A and B are shown apart, each in its own frame.
Chain A
């Protein structure tokens, strides 16, 4: 009997409190600003969930692995700029599973200015340049290199006994062929262990270009050619305007590997390669376009779209955890301080005084720098930053809540509640909290963007947790510009800035709508 009465009592209290929340929600929804705020927050939450579902958390490590991003064009705008009339050279990333041909070149031949001899393996792919724009170059990655020990004619051959030459040739629409890489002459084994990447070489290309134009009677400085190698490879130099214009049309990229193994019947080697026992089995051909993805890339070629998306849940977590934690602490300590008074009050108030007078920014910078020195991981640093934001963030609300509690405490209805025997807990939860919580919620809502902006500000001040957050992305854009980069990197600066602004606006609108709950005199209806 008694216990069921107790349960009933608790349910009663709970339903009372839920009713309050419902009323607040209805009031907020009734306003345009409230609607916009809630709508935006719902959008942010949905995008965050999408991000969590599609991008694994290990993306944070990938973000720092610059070799992973090497194949992407650096500092290029998003692809959709072509819809606005900006010519775009498309980004191409193609896997070629089988070589075009594998054959034995018995006698050395001069193939496009390169001496070819031995077992030759050719891969090729086409690249169509329709709009007048320059790709940033070509990169070939030997993806699947078979390294089995083979036995030919009773002799065992290891991959380190097979020498290898790798060439990347670009056949242009104007029938000019350029060697794009520094020909790799090495063994199959060391080629595989070096990663199997064939890079665009400015120097090699420049030499050929200078030679090419000299034959046409146009003198070109080696420096100029080297600085504009990628453009010259995909364009035509106009000596009168001293500029390069893009050459549209269909390009063919040919990747040629030649194998030699001393004392081995080359024809047997050809069949071993065809059988997939040894040699490069597939390649990835990449043409770095002049635009990439939905949001472009940064100076390391990193995809800003994925980074921005990855940052959504992080930003929300920073904002919510910092704001909720500091508001909950502030609310509880404020009510306790105001309601119980005495030495508890004194202790809490003096703590707030002390915390309030410690400048948080220098501390954050110091702690951040120390953590960076220690080589702490991004997540650790983020956690520490949030922790500090909370530790220094609850004081203001606690002061307000305390003074509100003091004034509510002296209301006659608190005495009435005491007179009927209400416990302290009941007075706090039933009479004080309902009046304080709307303020706390408004303050919570304003705290969320402030935590996010503080985190972004820290990135700009040089406290880098190196996780891809909007603040980090912005700070890196700033670094890029300061280190002599371009200024027109709008796709790098605007999206993170706008997203931060939008998130602030969402919470501020919600806060303004909540304000009318807190202060009914502001209601217009």
Chain B
């Protein structure tokens, strides 16, 4: 088994719900949105790991938490371990508080690092956002946007040095000839080009770990492929560990090595991507797989049964027992597990080799 780059351990990210004045007077306990509610996984070098789920399931929060964009006060449990490059670890470890360093694994607990000391780690932890229009400052030229990470981390003594980095990054994301893009503003670029600028900004510091948060969902279908290709090349070329967040299971299958399906802050199924899609175990995954559009025109008009009911329940008042229960078809059809579904949260169990599922249907095995 290759060494992990990032490991989430029982990660819990809760956001407090804003209270009205009256509620404050009533002195009731604070209520929380359980955006991520006990999630564990490992991501290995050279691997693309997908987080899949409906909107609101916590996949974006998970992704942001992995690169420490979630305010530490909202990370209420668990930890995120990151294994930086050898050099960075050796440079940082002596300066960090003891609790933040897991010496034997060469890893750093990123939420135990004080804010001020975290900056160097950002070089190796990067993220690409969904919105290619909003994620670039409209008042800055491409050159300035790409220069910023270098300035922040003090890379490149002179402007010429930095320009070299910038040009290299633009070449990697295939925005060539480079000179044509340097002095343009974001609004002068297409969505695909902008997303490639975002990627260039993320990789200019040569990160070990890259989170891509729905990087192609706002792009035209015709240009998605090239962006995905760039990400895949990066993974291969630099042996980068990647997290790919998407709501599109079909895309996940195309992009990822492993898939984690999330439902209201929990991973309900995790496994090799082909395995998860061809042999979905969890009732929720099954419903998602069934919803993948059928590419075969002959089957187009065939009505398929969608084996799910109701709507996503609130992440504030999570029902006891299995949180998928209100929408679960299996719960209706298999009365013998119901009592467990109602009372106990199903743990993530290895149903088949390397294929985990959180459902009481598979508990006895």
Interface residues of A (CB under 8 A from B): 1-2, 4-6, 8-9, 12-13, 16, 411-413, 415-423, 426, 430-431, 434-435
Q: Given known contacts A420-B122, A420-B201, A434-B139, is B151 in contact with A415 (CB within 8 Å)?
A: no
Contact assessment for B154 and A418 in the assembled complex, using a CB-CB cutoff below 8 Å: no
How far is B152's CA from A423's CA once the two chains are assembled, in angstroms?
Answer: 8
Nearest opposing residue in chain A for B205, CB measure = A420
A415 to B139 Cα, complex, angstroms: 16
B178 part of interface (Cβ distance < 8 Å): no
Tell me the smallest distance from the CB of B240 to a CB of chain A, in Å.
15
Residue of A nearest to B119 (CB): A421
What per-residue 1/0 map shows which CB atoms of B137-170 lie under 8 Å from chain A?
Answer: 1010000100111011110011100000000000
Report the Cα distance A13→B159, complex, angstroms.
Answer: 12
Q: Return the 4 tightest CB-CB contacts between A and B, nearest first.
A: A421-B122, A412-B134, A412-B135, A420-B149
In the bound complex, how far is the Cα of B154 from the Cα of A258, in angstroms?
93
Q: Chain A residues with Cβ under 8 A from B201's Cβ? A: 416, 420
Q: Name, among B67, B134, B153, the residue most crowded by chain A CB atoms within 10 Å (CB to CB).
A: B134
Residues of B with C-beta under 8 A to A1: 157
Judge whether B196 is part of the interface by a CB distance below 8 angstroms: no
Once the chains bind, are B157 and A419 in contact (CB under 8 Å)? no
Q: How far is the CA of A516 from the CA of B252 in the complex (A)?
A: 46
Q: Total A-B residue pairs with C-beta atoms closer than 8 Å?
A: 73
Contact between B154 and A6 (Cβ–Cβ < 8 Å)? yes
Could you tell me the distance between the alpha carbons of A411 and B118 in the complex, rounded to whole angstroms? 22
- Once bound together, how far apart are the Cα atoms of A420 and B122, in whole Å? 6
B129, CB-defined interface residue at 8 Å? yes
Q: How far is the CA of A12 from the CA of B137 in the complex (A)?
A: 17
B148 near A419 with CB under 8 A, answer: no
Task: Give complex CA distance A422, B140 in Å.
Answer: 15
Which residues of the partner chain A approach B129 to less than 8 Å between Cβ atoms?
412, 415-416
B363 touches A (CB below 8 Å): no
User: Are A421 and B153 touching (Cβ within 8 A)?
Assistant: yes
Which of B137, B154, B202 is most buried by chain A, counting CB atoms within 10 A of its CB? B137
Closest CB of chain B to A358's CB: distance in Å? 24
- Name the residue among A1, A2, A415, A431 with the largest chain B CB count within 10 angstroms: A415
| Chain B min CB distance to A424 (Å) | 10
B266 at the interface (CB under 8 A from A): no
Q: CB-CB contacts of B179-191 with A at 8 A, as 1s and 0s?
A: 0000000000000
What are 18 sample pairs from A and B whose C-beta atoms fall under 8 A apart? A4-B157, A9-B154, A12-B159, A412-B131, A413-B136, A415-B135, A416-B127, A419-B69, A419-B126, A419-B202, A420-B148, A420-B149, A420-B152, A420-B202, A421-B153, A422-B148, A422-B152, A430-B148
Q: Does B208 contact A (CB under 8 A)?
A: no
Specify which chain B residues have a CB less than 8 angstroms from the CB of A423 in the assembled complex: 119, 152
Which chain B residue lies CB-closest to A421?
Answer: B122
Q: What is the minimal beta-carbon distance from B71 to any residue of chain A, in angstroms?
A: 10
Closest to B147 in A: A12
Q: How far is the CA of A430 from the CA of B140 in the complex (A)?
A: 9
Q: Roughly how many angstroms separate A424 CA and B187 CA in the complex, as a whole number?
A: 26
In the bound assembly, the distance between CA atoms of A12 and B150 in angstroms comes to 12
Chain B hits for A431, CB < 8 A:
137
Are the CB atoms of A16 and B149 closer together than 8 Å? no
Q: What is the total number of residues of chain B having a CB less than 8 Å from a CB of chain A?
A: 33
Contacts of A13 in B (CB 8 A): 151
Q: Given the interface contacts A9-B151, A421-B149, A430-B148, does A416 sit within 8 Å of B135 by beta carbon?
A: yes
Chain B residues in 8 Å Cβ range of A430 = 148
The CA of A495 and the CA of B127, in the complex, are separated in Å by: 64
Interface status of B285 (Cβ within 8 A of chain A): no
In the complex, A412→B159 CA distance in Å? Answer: 27
**Which residue in chain B gives the minimum CB-CB distance to A9?**
B151
B126 touches A413 (CB 8 A): no
- Bound: A6/B152 CA distance, A: 10
Cβ of B282 < 8 Å from any Cβ of A? Answer: no
Closest to B144 in A: A16
- Which residues on A sit within 8 Å (CB–CB) of B134? 411-413
Are A12 and B151 also in contact (CB < 8 A) when A412-B135, A416-B135, A420-B122 are?
yes
From B127, B131, B152, contact of A426 by CB (8 A): B152
* 8 A Cβ contacts from B217-256 to A: none
The yes or no answer to B323 lying at the interface (CB within 8 A) is: no
Interface residues of B in 197-219 (CB under 8 A from A): 198, 201-202, 205
User: Known contacts A416-B201, A420-B205, A421-B149; is A5 also within 8 Å of B154 by CB?
Assistant: yes
Q: How far is the CA of A155 from the CA of B148 in the complex (A)?
A: 97
Which one of A9, A16, A413, A435 has the highest number of Cβ atoms from chain B below 10 Å of its Cβ? Answer: A413
**How long is the Cα–Cα vector from A451 to B315 in the complex, in angstroms?**
53
Task: Give complex CA distance A423, B118 in Å.
Answer: 11
B34: Cβ under 8 A from any A Cβ: no
In the assembly, what is the distance between CA of A8 and CA of B118, in Å? 23
A419 contacts which of B67, B144, B153 (Cβ < 8 Å)?
B67
Residue B258 is within 8 A (CB to CB) of chain A in the complex? no
Chain B 98-147 residues near chain A, CB threshold 8 A: 118-119, 122-123, 125-127, 129-131, 134-137, 139, 144, 147
A411 vs chain B, min Cβ distance (A): 5
- Is A417 a contact of B148 with CB atoms below 8 Å? yes
Docked complex Cα distance between A416 and B186 (Å): 14
Q: Which residues from chain A contact B118 at a C-beta distance below 8 Å?
A: 421
Residues of B within 8 A of A411 (CB): 134, 137
Which of A6, A418, A419 has the most chain B CB within a 10 Å cutoff?
A: A419
Given the complex of chains A and B, what is the CA–CA distance between A443 and B123 in angstroms?
A: 40
Which residues of chain A have C-beta atoms less than 8 A from B139's C-beta? Answer: 434-435
CB closest chain-B residue, reference A16:
B144
Q: Which residues of A contact B123 (CB under 8 A)?
A: 421
Q: Which of chain A's residues have a CB closer than 8 A to the CB of B153? A: 420-421
Q: Give chain B interface residues in 63-95, CB to chain A under 8 Å.
A: 64, 67, 69
**Is A420 touching B126 in the complex (CB atoms < 8 A)?**
yes
Minimum distance in angstroms from A117 CB to a CB of chain B: 93
A5-B157, A6-B154, A431-B137 known; A418-B148 Cβ under 8 A? no
Find the B residue at minimum CB distance from A430. B148
Question: Cα distance A412–B135 when bound, in Å?
Answer: 4
Nearest chain B CB to A346 CB, angstrom units: 12
Q: How far is the CB of A432 from chain B (nearest CB, A)?
A: 10
- CB of B322 to closest CB in A, whole Å: 33
Smallest CB gap from A414: residue in B: B137
CB of A76 to closest CB in B, whole Å? 58
Do B205 and A416 touch across chains, with their CB atoms under 8 A apart?
Answer: no
Which residues of B sit under 8 angstroms from A415, Cβ to Cβ?
A: 64, 69, 127, 129, 135
Q: Which residues of B contact A421 (CB under 8 A)?
A: 118-119, 122-123, 149, 152-153
Chain A residues contacting B158 (CB-CB under 8 Å) are 8
> Shortest distance in angstroms between A341's beta carbon and chain B's nearest beta carbon?
11
Q: Bound complex: CA of A250 vs CA of B118, how far in Å? A: 94
**Distance from B50 Cβ to chain A, minimum over Cβ atoms (Å):** 20
A264 shortest CB reach to chain B, Å: 93
Bound complex: CA A430 to CA B157 (Å):
20
**How close is B152's CB to chain A, nearest CB, in angstroms?**
5
Per the bound structure, the CA–CA distance linking A412 and B201 in Å amounts to 14
Q: CA separation between A423 and B64, bound complex, in Å?
A: 18
Query: Nearest B residue to A411 by beta-carbon distance?
Result: B134
CA distance A1 to B135 in the complex (A): 33
Q: Say yes or no: A8 contacts B157, CB within 8 Å.
A: yes
In the complex, A418→B134 CA distance in Å? 14
